[in-house]
């Protein structure tokens, strides 16, 4: 299946957020070509006008996002934190060419807004020069597996896990605050201890999240599991109990304490 990519003009860049610890979001793109099998943002498709395209195969590039942001920041003072990329990845492949996220960062830096970025791409290191200009800036990398083979199955177009770990290292070496987002935890595939070992010394904290299969992603997840990990299919079909997730949360807490990594949150759906 080929990708449908187009440029569009947006009417707003900043949107109010209901996410914990985030006050505003900026999504420089609509859609996401990282195409993660479990993606929770696929509900966005119904607001995009892409009736013919599957989620993960279309991308609208908000060509004027920075220009609109500049006007928005002229009219209001931002209190709180702006997250770049809540229903897209701000550093997806098209960003290399279009630099929409970079242009937004230039504007945000002029106003020294507090920012947070969550990505699966090593492209974020291109903007270290800009990120260093913020008084409050943190960058999170999703590390839901410890094995590159698994990430190539579930997040086919994102950077590999090894590249994400190197990215954390590079950001931190340049004085940028970093965190790892271990989510979603995929039962039987996410090796929590190995992940914690990999990120140790490279992050300020860890956030974790249980797997949610109630957001239109169940068929896709089951398809990937059936094809690649048939021995896990039955357990994924049956789902995972709240007692199971309590046990996972507890063991994450213990491992984080053992490795001296603060666990800032464990989101259990």
Q: Provide the binding-site residues for ligand SF4, judged by CB under 6 A.
A: 32, 34-36, 39, 41, 88-89, 120, 155, 158
C-alpha closest to that of 61 among 106, 35, 96, 36: 96
Closer residue to ligand SF4 (CB): 121 or 178: 121
> Whole-number minimum distance, CB 55 to ligand SF4, in Å?
8
**Tokens found for residue 115:** 């920012």
Are 78 and 113 in contact, with CB atoms under 8 Å apart?
Answer: yes
d(CA 177, CA 46): 35
Closer residue to ligand SF4 (CB): 36 or 66: 36
> Whole-number minimum distance, CB 99 to ligand SF4, in Å?
18
> Whole-number minimum distance, CB 262 to ligand SF4, in Å?
24
Are 180 and 206 in contact, with CB atoms under 8 Å apart?
Answer: yes
Closer residue to ligand SF4 (CB): 35 or 202: 35
DSSP letters, 135-162, are SSEEEEEE---S-HHHHHHHSTTSPPHH
Closer residue to ligand SF4 (CB): 34 or 62: 34
> Whole-number minimum distance, CB 141 to ligand SF4, in Å?
11
d(CA 13, CA 29): 10
> Whole-number minimum distance, CB 234 to ligand SF4, in Å?
25
Residue 3 burial by Cβ neighbours in a 10 Å radius (0-12, 13-18, 19+): middle
Closer residue to ligand SF4 (CB): 39 or 261: 39
């Amino acid at each position: 299946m080929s990708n449908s990519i187009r440029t569009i003009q947006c009417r707003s860049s900043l949107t109010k957020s209901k996410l914990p610890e985030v006050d505003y979001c900026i999504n420089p793109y609509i859609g996401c070509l990282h195409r993660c099998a479990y993606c929770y943002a696929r509900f966005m498709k119904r607001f995009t006008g892409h009736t013919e395209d599957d989620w993960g195969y279309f991308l609208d590039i908000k060509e004027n996002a920075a220009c609109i942001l500049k006007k928005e920041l002229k009219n209001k003072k931002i209190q709180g934190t702006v997250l770049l990329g809540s229903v897209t990845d701000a550093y997806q492949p098209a960003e290399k060419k279009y630099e929409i996220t970079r242009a937004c960062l230039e504007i945000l830096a002029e106003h020294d807004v507090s920012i947070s970025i969550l990505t699966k791409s090593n492209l974020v290191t291109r903007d270290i020069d800009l990120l260093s200009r913020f008084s409050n800036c943190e960058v999170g990398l999703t590390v839901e597996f410890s094995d590159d083979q698994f990430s190539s199955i579930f997040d086919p177009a994102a950077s590999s896990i090894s590249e994400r770990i190197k990215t954390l290292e590079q950001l931190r070496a340049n004085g940028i605050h970093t965190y790892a987002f271990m989510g979603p935890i995929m039962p039987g595939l996410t090796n929590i201890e190995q992940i914690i070992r990999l990120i140790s010394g490279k992050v300020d904290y860890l956030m974790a999240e249980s797997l949610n299969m109630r957001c239109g992603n169940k068929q896709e997840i089951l398809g990937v599991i059936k094809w690649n990990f048939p021995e896990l299919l039955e357990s994924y079909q049956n789902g995972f109990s709240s007692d199971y997730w309590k046990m996972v949360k507890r063991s994450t807490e213990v491992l984080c304490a053992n490795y001296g990594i603060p666990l800032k949150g464990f989101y259990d759906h």
